[in-house]
Amino acid sequence: MSKLTIPVSSADHIQGDIDAPLTLLEYGDYECPYCGMAYNIVKHIQKHFGKRLRFVFRNFPLVESHPHAGIAAITAEFAATKNKFWEMHDVLYENQENLAIQDLLNYAKSLDLPSDELQLAIEKDMFNEKIKNDFMGGVRSGVNGTPTFFINGIRYNASFEYENLLEALTEAEKSI
């Protein structure tokens, strides 16, 4: 049973109540179509659990398979520095087919972010360390592809269909 080796901290992107008893953590890649499917499911899950659940997202870009995953991750991290991580996260997952640099710059503009700063961040490969730390932390925790979920620190191995995830989280809530 694989466990999360890097605990959730203030360095993480956390959505929902920070003190929520339930934590769903995803290692994801913005260009991965399975993560795109999971994106909508997680939204429903968040609706169901409300304040009882916090959702954490960490980068796991598979850049050899997904040529835009790296720059998409940079874009989300850039938005985070302007307190718009989740807005950008959503835009990226809702536009997975279009993640070329020009698209990313346009998404920045649409969120009122300075696209020239983003362009520079992409050119200079900024946030490389943060993204790499997420990735290697994931590898050391047994992340084996995308998306990989952890429920309260334990790797969740079953299907991420809504019903399965709902059941697993409900069980986890009972055992708290």
Partner 1 sequence: MGKILEPNIPAPDFNLHATPDQTLSLSELKGKPVILAFYPADWSPVCGDEMSLFNEILPEFRKYGAELLGISVDGVWCHTAFAEQRKLHFPLLSDFEPKGAIAKQYGAYREKEGCSERALFVIDKNGIIAWSYLSPVAENPGADGILNALEALPK
DSSP percent split of the chain into helix, strand, coil, nearest 5: 50, 15, 35
Pairwise CA distance, residues 96 & 82, whole Å: 22
Min CB(7)–partner 1 separation in Å: 16
Min CB(30)–partner 1 separation in Å: 12
Min CB(141)–partner 1 separation in Å: 7
- Interface residues with partner 1 (CB under 8 A) are 2, 29, 32-35, 60, 62-66, 135-136, 139-146, 157
User: In terms of CB distance, is 43 or 140 closer to partner 1?
Assistant: 140
User: In terms of CB distance, is 101 or 136 closer to partner 1?
Assistant: 136
User: In terms of CB distance, is 34 or 109 closer to partner 1?
Assistant: 34
Distances (CA, A) of 116 to 44, 79, 112, 132, 157: 35, 13, 12, 24, 41
